[in-house]
Every structure is written in C-alpha cells, then in structure tokens.
Amino acid sequence: MDVEVIMREVIEEIRPTEEERAFVEGLMKELEELAEEKIEELGLDVRPYFVGSLAKDTYLAGDHDVDLFLAFPLNTPLEELRERGLELGRAIAESLDSYEIAYAEHPYVRARYRGVKVDLVPCYDVKSWRDVKTAVDRSILHNRWVVENLNGRNDEVRLLKRFLKGINAYGSEIYIRGFSGYLAEILVIKQGPFLEVLKNADFMLRQKIIDPGNWLRREPAIARKTVKREVEEDRPLVVIDPVDPRRNVAANLSWEKYGIFYFKSHQFLESPSRDFFFPKGKPKGGYLEELRRKGTHLVTLIFQPPELVDDVLLPQLERSARGFEKALQREGFNVLGWNVGRMGRAFIMLEVDRRERERVRIKPGPEFFTDRGWDFYSKNERVWITGKRLYSEKIVRESVVDVIVELLEKNQVALGRGIREAVEGAEILVDYVPGELEGEAYLFLSREKWNLKG
Amino acid sequence: MDVEVIMREVIEEIRPTEEERAFVEGLMKELEELAEEKIEELGLDVRPYFVGSLAKDTYLAGDHDVDLFLAFPLNTPLEELRERGLELGRAIAESLDSYEIAYAEHPYVRARYRGVKVDLVPCYDVKSWRDVKTAVDRSILHNRWVVENLNGRNDEVRLLKRFLKGINAYGSEIYIRGFSGYLAEILVIKQGPFLEVLKNADFMLRQKIIDPGNWLRREPAIARKTVKREVEEDRPLVVIDPVDPRRNVAANLSWEKYGIFYFKSHQFLESPSRDFFFPKGKPKGGYLEELRRKGTHLVTLIFQPPELVDDVLLPQLERSARGFEKALQREGFNVLGWNVGRMGRAFIMLEVDRRERERVRIKPGPEFFTDRGWDFYSKNERVWITGKRLYSEKIVRESVVDVIVELLEKNQVALGRGIREAVEGAEILVDYVPGELEGEAYLFLSREKWNLKG
C-alpha cells in the first residue's frame, strides 16, 4: 500500500480528536487554576508549568498523563524545596480524586483526576542549564525548546513515537533503553519529518553526533568533553541536549534498540504497512514443540520478588540471569540464552543444552612440585600429571536443578542486589512452565521475542 | 621390608651373571676381530668402538644390544663416510646371522648374531665436542666419560635404570620422553648412589642445572647460552653434557616423566618394595563399568596406520587426538581426556561428556550496521541483536559420530602429518571397543594408565 496513504490513516488514529483536545485543555486549565490557588493559600513563590507530551502537543490519542511541575525560585534551599514541594503537591491533590507519594530523586505526588494520571513534581525554576540542580529541572527547558522549534511537525512526532512503540523501541527507562519522547522530538526537528528520520537510520549512526543546539560552536570545550565521554562509553548516538551541552539525550539508548529501529526502518521503507505502528500479536506456538525442535532444555526460576518498581527490579533480574549463565557455563552446561520478566511473580528463564551432565569432572590441581601439589596428591585418589600440573577427577551432581541448588547454597552465583533471598527461595522448573508463562516461554525459545524479521 | 635388602635382591636379579658376562665379552671380542679383519680387507682407516650399556658395563641382565661404532677419520667427506660405512657394515654383517639396512640421520646396518641385536653404525672418530659432525659421533665421548667416572657404581646405575623402567619413565624416545640411559649414569655419578638420586628428586628440580663437566667454568659463554636456551624451553632439568657444553642431556625429558619419578621416588623411600622395579600388572576392570560410573562416553577411532615407526607414528597420533579435542570442544562436546596407541591397528580414544548435543546452536554474526551485517540478516530466518552483533541459530548434527564425520569431511580437524588419509577412513565406535582394546579402554577411562598412586 502507498506509504502516504498509510501514514495519513495512522495519523487519523493517533492524533487526538477536537473533543479529546478540548477535554485535555479544560483539564489543564482547571489544574493550573487549582495550583495557583493553593500556591497563594500556602503563601509560596512558585510557578506551575505543564511539561511532557501534553504540554508540547505531541501526545498520542488516549495517552493523557499530565506532568505539572511546581517551580521554586533558584535560591530556595533544597530541603525547603522538598518539604514545601510535597506540601503543595498534597494540597493540590486533596482536591483531586486520589493520590499517593512516589519517590524518585525527591518525593512527589502522583494523583488521579477524571481518569487521568497527574504527577505534581517540585523543581527549580531554571532559565538555563547553568541553573540546573536536580534531575527534573531540565524538563521546563526541554518543553520550551520543543515548543519553539517544532514548527507544526507535531503529527510527525506522533508518527515516529507510534512507530517506535510498534517496533518495541520506545521508552528510555533503564529496563527498556529505547528512544525517549524528547529524543523522538529532536530527531523530527533536526532530521526532517517522519519518513526522513527513518531514511536517516544508517546515516545518523555513521554521523554519530547530532548537535541541534549548536553547542560545539557556542560552548566548544564543554560540548567536546560531552562528545568524548559519550564516544568512549560507546553510545550508538550522541545527541547533545539543545538545552544543556553536558548531556547526551541518547545516553540511555542501547545498541539493541537502535538496531531494531535500523532494521525496522529499512523494512518499512521497503514495504510499508500499518502493522509497524500497530503490530499484530507476536506469533504463537508451543514451547514444548520448540524444545523438541531445538533439542534444548528450559530451566525456569519463579519467585515472589521484593516490592520494587520495574526500573529497579528488571535490571537486577537481568544481572542474576547473567550470573546463572556464567555459573552454569563453569559447571559444564551451555546456556544458549536467557529471558527475565515479571508476570505476577518474577521469572528467570535459562535455555540450556542438557538436563544432566556427566557424573565426573576433571579437576585441575596445582603444579606437582609445590606444597599445594603434595596436598592435592595426598587428598585425591587418582592423580595424574599433564604438563606440570596435577589432575584428578571429582564426582559432581548431574541434574541441572541439583547444580543450581548447590550453586545457590555455596553462594557461587552473582545475583542482582536486593533479590538474593527471593531467588534463593525460587521454584525451579525444568521443561515446564505454568500456564501464564507458556506464551513467554515460546517467544523466548523461538527467539521471536527479539526476531528482527518477526 | 628393609630397603637395603630389597636393593640387594633386585641387584641379584639385574646384574649379569659371570656366565652371561663371559658370553657378552666373547661376543664383543669376536665382533671386534671380525670388524678389524673386514677393515683391513677393504683397506679402510677405521677404528671400531663399542658404545652403549654393554661397553659401559651398565646393562641389565638379559639386555644385550650391541652397538659397534665404526669410526672414520675426521677428514673423511660425509658422502664417503656414508658409502664406505654402509659397505663395511654389510661386509661385517655378511658373517653374522642376518641383517637389514636401517635409516636414521644416515643409513646403518642392523644385524642379529647369536640371538643378539648388533647395530653397526658409521661415525667420525671424534676426540672432542668441537669435532662432532653427526648425531651419533658423541656416543664415543659419552662412553669414555662414563667409563672414566663411574668408579665402580655400575650396579647403582642398574638399579636406577630398572627403577625408571618399572615406573615407566625410562627411554628418551620422542614418544616416551623419559630418562635416557646416559642421563641415569650421569645422575648416579653426580648425585650419589641410587638411593641418593631418589632422595634428590626434589632438590635436583630446584637446583635445575647439573654441570658434571664443569663447563660453566671452562666454557662459560657457551655453557651459559645452553642454560639460557634450555631454561627458556622450560625443561625440568638442564644437565650440561660433560662431553659437550652445547647440549642438555635431559632435553627430551618431559615434566610428566619427571613428575612420575618425583612421586615414585617419594613413595619408594616411604615404603620400599620390589614392585617399583618389577611392577605387578596394572589393575584390571571393565571399561563399560567405568563409563557407567563416570556418566561419560568413549569415542574410539580405529584404523590401519601407514607404515611408520612408533617414533614417527605416535607423536602424529597425539597431535591428531589434540586436533579432535579442540574441534569437538568448538562443537560443544566436552573432551575429558584422550589416549592413543597402536595395538595391531592404531587407535585414538576420546572421552566425551555426551553422545548427542542439542540440535540447534547459536550462531554469532557480524555487527549489524555493516555490509556483512546486512548479508547475515538476509540469509537467516530468525535474527536478533545482542550488543552490536547479530545472532541467529543453526541446525546442527546431534550425534558425536556424525559431528566427527562432518568435521573430517570439512577438513576442520588438525590431524598429524602422514596419517590424515588413514584417520579419515577410520572406524568410529561409541561406548564399545573390540576385545583387544578393552584393557586399554579401562586403563584410560579409569586414568589408572597415568595414576601416580597406581
């Protein structure tokens, strides 16, 4: 189908309707008035700002998270900003439907109002990057820069964001490491409209550095330091933040997510389809058939994780999976891949080459002519020399489950922080998963979960 | 039992009787006269020398190989020495029982006479190491040095040689890499009698350098160069040849054989026994029971080797076994050990962790943003990215026999020179060996073949 037709149809679906727009604008006006009222009541010198995709008018239809930033004067002490900010947030939220306190660099109020999530975030009222004191301060500057530069390309941003969501490369969270909304906006502003951004997927990677704020001229020393640092960190892209020369907007973008964008852009340009934006479900299949086809085995650890947000939990699950991979390889099991996630309980899946290993392993010892050599010689029944070293054999557990239990008991697996205890109490299943994990197990074993051609 | 008693009893067994000695001396006299007669007939300027353990009176009872060296003047051209030497050897051998021509650095005559093997070897009549031209010339010097320095310790040499034979560390052949007779003689001369040599097993290794000819004083530059070279080659011992400062008498001694000597010396001194000199047979057991006990598998390649002496064949079998070890490890089989030999046909045994591997292997590809990346992406069905690289899977043969056949077909095993064709035509057996290899398979799988405590 013609690419223009597809894009037009997709835009129809993702651009908010006039009705939706009116609702959002009404909501924002209402919240602003409420905030100003409470600021006055509390006698604070605070300015409310809307930031995020709603404020930039780059939000997707139906996606209405409100970010209301409460900006304190720069000379406010941090402790005071925390206390007063939270106080103000609470005061506003009392008039909304419900709220809770959430914790990031400092605490903020997460409320709900008329079916919409409303974050009330205290920050400093910065005018320039030199003023930035806390992680959230920059948002006001981002917002302003995008509004000033977007030049009517709002729907192009919507297309790109929807495309990135469709191909599973959207979101800068640590456990996703994809494209942030702000990065998508910058790419549309600097690399041309949606289709041009896709066509530039290869060029951008080679060019590597994108400098929409012209910092390399305006602040060469600082900007060059940023480039040097980020190149050394081997990022796929270095996008110098147009509002702060010290920062790479794409610092959290992984090579994997850029690679998906790279191939999917190519595929879309070759044979465009609506499916890139709204993918049909992943292929379904039986994980047991996959195991039979591959001749491999699936070990699944399932456990109740401690109460941690995904941002914290998922990286620790990944770390643990890598720990199991290394430990099992040392024990003679080949780990072909791993997969982690949370589906009610947390899980770590390991694809291994076999359920059982040999019962005896060769145990390398020290050089024969040393004290430790004599010790090894005395302690083992059958001992022989190859080169200068002594060798013997040891009897080991055969089954992969027994090996894992033993590794955990001996504390020989590098596990993620905060989840050791939970992992140690995990149920360990081999070649079987409970119903709710069957789909996940199939997607993992077949690699359809990550298949670029899927 | 008392060590002195044991040694006395062993000496009784290994020292030639008066009768045997008379026979040997008569034989040598007869051969010398025959040689002188033939030298005169052919009008040659050659001196006959007896060398080897018979000439040094360090031979073991019943072990009567005669080495008769035919020494030509130093100014004889090499070509002439070869021709005339062979001619003279033949002339002598015509009067013996039978003979054949053997080939080393140059051809020589290998005859039999009165049940004894008689080697007739042409060489140069060297007076000093500076004269040495061919590999065999040094023997005359060795012989003289031992006779001049042995000082009545002949039986001590006999004990040491018998001990080394008993523990399977005797012989400097390339496929044995143990102690030569000459090295045993030097050790007795320099390190004291038999028991002292054993007590010095650890000290010698630490001292490393033995210099019975005092070359480090007499020819420091040359001797130091020898030491440096041999230390760099990481030999267990550097014994500067008392008749040639350029040579390490222990150059062919392996760490493995020294290690056996090291532990067996210790064992003998702790609890002396006649068994060290005359070992009882290796323990016997069933190889199938060993396989069951260990949970491992035995792959045996059996083939008719090309006509090569053990000196040439065995190192090439070892090289091939190492080639299989590496190739199979690459293919995901763990090789716990290997064993080679000749028993009628040649064999290579490999102990592996399993008969079958998984049917699918992960195939790492190139970085995704390269031409080769695009190529890999196009050619494979399921492709994913980890880090910067593409990955896919490939279907592989499961059975270890199929894998070996495929590796050989694709020429992916580093095989020994001269035996490729024979190995490629080998029968491949899994967890089964023909009757004549059952004992060998047991000794290998149980490691009793090399067990220091066996």
A342 token code pair: 């949370």
CATH number, domain of A334, equals 3.30.70.590
> Cα distance from A366 to chain B (closest Cα, Å)?
13
Q: Is B418 on the interface with A (CB under 8 A)?
A: no
Q: How confident is the model at residue A103 (pLDDT cuts 50, 70, 90)?
A: confident
B269 touches chain A (CB under 8 A): no
Give pLDDT, residue A173: 87
Q: Are B132 and B192 within one domain?
A: no
- Show Cβ contacts of residue B59 under 8 Å, excluding neighbours closer than 6 positions: B16, B24, B52, B53, B158
| Same domain for B428 and B364 | no
pLDDT confidence bin for A344, thresholds 50/70/90 = confident
Long-range CB pairs of B150-157, under 8 A, 24+ apart, other chains included:
B150/B56, B150/B58, B150/B185, B150/B188, B150/B189, B151/B189, B153/B188, B153/B189, B153/B193, B154/B56, B154/B57, B154/B58, B155/B11, B155/B15, B156/B188, B156/B193, B156/B194, B157/B58, B157/B184, B157/B185, B157/B188
Contact assessment for residue A20 and residue A114, using Cβ atoms and an 8 Å cutoff: no
Does A72 score more than 80 pLDDT?
A: yes
Confidence of residue A179 (pLDDT cuts 50, 70, 90): very high
CB within 8 Å: B356 and A295? yes
- Considering the domain architecture, whether residues B191 and B260 belong to the same structural domain is answered as yes
The tokens of A113 are what? 């109002």
Alpha-carbon distance values, A293 to A127, A432, B184, B234, B398 (Å)? 61, 15, 62, 50, 12
Q: Is the residue at A262 inside a domain? A: yes
Average pLDDT score over residue span B124-150:
93
pLDDT of B93 over the 90 cut:
yes
Give the tens place of pLDDT for each residue, A235-252: 999 999 999 999 999 999
Examine the domain organization and report whether A187 and A251 are in the same domain: yes
Residue B182 has pLDDT above 80, yes or no: yes
Contact at CB, B377 and A263, closer than 8 angstroms: yes
pLDDT for residue A262 is more than 90: yes
Question: Are residues B201 and B88 part of one domain?
Answer: no
Listed residues A276, A309, A330: the one ending a domain: A276
Nearest by CB to A294, from B202, B354, B360: name it: B360
* Residue A2 forms part of a structural domain: no
A193 plus A297 within the same structural domain: no
Q: Residue A418 is encoded by which pair of tokens? A: 């905060």
Per-residue pLDDT band at A304 (split at 50, 70, 90): very high
The verdict on B340 and B242 lying in the same domain is no
Alpha helices in B124-254 (DSSP H): 138-149, 154-166, 181-191, 194-199, 201-207, 215-218, 220-232
Mean pLDDT of chain B: 94
Q: Is B262 on the interface with A (CB under 8 A)?
A: yes
Query: Is the residue at B454 inside a domain?
Result: no
| Phi, psi for residue B384 in degrees, rounded to 5 | -140, 170
Please tell me if residue A359 touches chain B, with a CB cutoff of 8 Å.
Answer: yes
User: Are B296 and B424 contained in the same domain?
Assistant: yes
- Judge: A377–B452 Cβ closer than 8 Å, yes or no: yes
Q: Residue A163: exposed, middle, or buried by beta-carbon count in 10 A (0-12, 13-18, 19+)?
A: buried
Interface mutation target, options B331, B395, B445, B447, chain A, most CBs of A under 10 Å: B447
* Residue A213, domain member (yes or no): yes
Could you report the per-residue pLDDT of A122-154, keeping only the tens digit for each? 999 999 999 998 888 999 999 999 999 999 999
Q: Is the pLDDT of residue A454 over 80?
A: no
CB nearest to A262's CB, from B206, B368, B446: B368
Distance (Å, rounded) from C-alpha A355 to C-alpha B374? 36
Q: Which residue in B has a C-alpha nearest to residue A379's C-alpha?
A: B453
Residue-range definition of the domain harbouring residue B391: 360-395
**Chain A contact for B222 (CB, 8 A cutoff):** no
Q: Which of A263, A333, A352, A400 to mutate to test the interface with B (most CBs of B within 10 A)?
A: A263
Alpha helices in B44-151 (DSSP H): 52-56, 78-93, 138-149
Q: Is residue A7 part of a domain?
A: no
Of the candidates A387, A398, A453, which has its C-beta nearest B255's C-beta?
A: A387
Q: How many domains does chain B have?
A: 4
Task: Report whether B411 contacts B312 (CB < 8 A).
Answer: no
Mean pLDDT of A67-84: 94
Q: Considering the domain boundaries, does residue B409 fall inside one?
A: yes
Q: Which of the listed residues A137, A169, A187 is the one where a domain comes to its end?
A: A137
> Does residue A182 lie within any of the structural domains?
yes
Q: Are residues A225 and A372 in the same domain?
A: no
CATH of the domain at A120: 3.30.460.10
Residue A1 has pLDDT above 80, yes or no: no
pLDDT at A418: 87
* Interface probe, candidates A202, A376, A400, A453, chain B, greatest B C-beta count within 10 A: A453
**Cβ-Cβ contacts under 8 Å, A359 against chain B:** 293-296
- Residues written for chain A: 454
Q: How far is B341 from chain A (nearest CA, A)?
A: 17
- The string of pLDDT tens digits covering residues B362-419 is 999 999 999 999 999 999 999 999 999 999 999 999 999 999 999 999 999 999 888 9
Q: Assign residue A251 the CATH number of its domain.
A: 1.10.1410.30
Q: Is residue B143 part of a domain?
A: no
Which of B78, B104, B136 represents a domain boundary (last residue)?
B136
Instruction: Output the pLDDT for position B282.
Output: 79
Judge if B291 and B402 occupy the same domain: yes
Question: Would you place residue A282 in the very low, low, confident or very high pLDDT band (cuts 50, 70, 90)?
Answer: confident
pLDDT at A97 over 80: yes
Flag if B259 and A385 touch (Cβ within 8 Å).
Answer: yes
Per-residue pLDDT reduced to its tens digit, A21-52: 999 999 999 999 999 999 999 999 999 999 99
Domain match, A334 and A239 both = no
Nearest CB to A262: which of B206, B369, B384?
B369
Q: Which residue is closest to B391 within chain A, CA to CA?
A: A451
One domain, residues A391 and A410: no
Pairing of strands B360-367, B209-210: unpaired
Whether A8 has a pLDDT exceeding 80, the answer reads yes
Q: So what's the ipTM on this one?
A: 0.87
